[in-house]
Structure 1
Amino acid sequence: MATRRRGQIVETPTEARQAEPGPSVLALLSVSTGLAILILGVIWFVFFRV
């Protein structure tokens, strides 16, 4: 657990490395997946449509 010594927050190396992924991670995953599906759909439509 983080403690405060002489006005500074002191954490162990494990605590300092931990982070919580915010909503930006979900947004990035959603946008990149959507773009990949869109690009693959365009490629299929242009090259494989008979």
Structure 2
Amino acid sequence: MADPNEPVHVTTTEARAGATPGVTRYVLGVSLVLVIAIFAFLILR
């Protein structure tokens, strides 16, 4: 039986339980540019 007070040591990949392809930064960047463009269009029209 494992001791409940014993700390669990796992690697970053095991804790994440998956791969991180890096697409998120592109989605965030494109979304930010689109929101700025839409707000600029609405303000300047």
Answer whether TM exceeds 0.5 for this pair. Answer: yes
Count how many residue pairs are aligned between Structure 1 and Structure 2: 31
TM-score calculated relative to the size of structure 1: 0.51
Point out 4+ residue stretches in structure 1 off by more than 4 angstroms: none
Unaligned runs of 5+ in 2: 1-13
Unaligned runs of 5+ in 1: 1-14
- What is the percentage of aligned positions where both structures have the same residue? 23
User: Could you say what the CA RMSD is over the residues aligned between the two structures, in angstroms?
Assistant: 1.7
TM-score calculated relative to the size of structure 2: 0.56
RCO greater where, 1 or 2, for CA within 8 Å and sep 6 or more? 1
